[in-house]
Amino acid sequence: MNIFKKYKMLVSIKEAFDNLPCGVAFFEKNGTPLLVNRKMYGLVYDLLETELQSLDDIEILLKVQFVFSSEGRVWRFERIISESEKDFIEIKAADVTEIYMYKLRLDEAVEEQKSIMRRMQRITRNIVSITRNEEILSMKMNIHNELGFILSNSRQFISQGCPENEKQDYIDLQRKTVKML
Amino acid sequence: MLNQSQKYIERYGELAEMLAAEKDPEKIKKLAVETDFIIAFIKRRLNIIFLHEEDENINCAELCCCIEESLKTLRLNGIECSCISELKKTMDFERMTYLYEGFYRFVSDITDDISSLHVYLRAYGDTVCILMYITSRSDLSGISGIQREGDKWVFMIE
């Protein structure tokens, strides 16, 4: 292959690389840029307002899950771990706008589910509380009625002159009431 | 709830057992009246507790009902009784139970000796007191705080 053809091929590769819809950059192990496409340069300038000079410049973008460009798109920067990592470092910036939108909808759905769960728990607690209050009320009414009955019985026993043949029933009733209380 | 009435419930249990063991008809009647008196007290005291759960302050009329319930027992024993209150105010739970317990303790000690008991609920500063006029066959002067007014004994729970 002559030099001209080889040069033309390299230019074509570079052109194709620059036209990729995602940002791609290769760095030396010491952080010096080896190959950076147009999209990556544009993104770094848009997001950090600085030219991409070294790997350190975009470390901050690798630490966050999502970054938002001025044109309203959402990007994710990640370090591609591959065999070539031994020789150079590859960074990729992918347009994840749609994934981000799905994630937002998912977060909303999860939040709504949590809210429903909280409501259900509140309703369950209320049901328990209402049941308990009803039981307490029933117990109070039971005690009140029982004491009213024993009082009426007791007064009848006294007004009849405490008859000997009714004494045992009267005492049994008293013992039962004491036990209930 | 019932813990606050525990000592009275225990006394009620003791009275029931004393009744079971007693053979003398006169003593049986005396114990039955005492038992009835304590049942009325427990019932009405629990009522006050239940009312207190609904509201911090309780109408004075409730104390009059409590006393009236206890007086029904005394009437069974031939004692002439009344309870009069024209107060249209409320009082807190502690004050009401203090007055009703004071009334119960005082009256249960003298039940055997008295022939009449007239109870008045009177305003006492911001709150209420119980004033009792008693006719008794016995000398009650040994009771702390009791005073003589003509042929009546007067006792105040303040």
Query: Dihedral of the CA atoms A22, A25, A26, A29 (nearest 10)?
Result: -130
CA distances from B33 to A150, B41, B54 (A): 13, 12, 32
Give the per-residue pLDDT at B154: 93
Q: What is the mean pLDDT of residues B37-49?
A: 91
Three-class secondary structure of residue A28 per DSSP: strand
Q: Residue B5 above 80 pLDDT?
A: no
Q: Which residues, including other chains, have CB under 8 Å from residue B101's CB and lie 6 or more apart?
A: B45
Candidate from B8-17, B38-47, B86-95 with smallest mean pLDDT: B86-95
Classify the complex by whether its ipTM is higher than 0.95, answering yes or no. Answer: no
Give me the torsion for CA of A134, A140, A144, A145, rounded to 10°: 40
CB of A140 within 8 Å of any CB in chain B?
A: yes
- Is the pLDDT reported for residue A72 higher than 70? yes
Strand locations in A11-168 (E): 23-28, 33-36, 67-68, 74-80, 88-95
Contact call for B19 and A174, based on CB within 8 A:
yes
Task: Give the pLDDT band of residue B55 (cuts 50, 70, 90).
Answer: confident
Residue A1 binned pLDDT confidence (cut-offs 50, 70, 90)? low
The pLDDT, as a whole number, for residue B3 is 63
pLDDT(A82) > 80:
no
User: How close A131 comes to chain B (CA, Å)?
Assistant: 17
Residue indicated by tokens 């008293």: A174
- Tell me what pLDDT residue B131 has: 93
Neighbours of A5 (CB within 10 A): 9
Give the per-residue pLDDT at B155: 93
Summarize pLDDT for B66-82 with one digit per residue, the tens.
999 999 999 988 899 99
| Region B96-115 average pLDDT | 91
pLDDT tens for each residue of A108-136 = 999 999 999 999 999 999 998 888 888 88
Q: Whole-model pTM? A: 0.63
pLDDT at A85: 60
* Interchain pair A178, B39: CB under 8 A: no
Residue type at B81 in one-letter notation: C
A175 contacts in chain B (CB < 8 Å) = 13, 16, 20
Residue A80: predicted pLDDT: 85
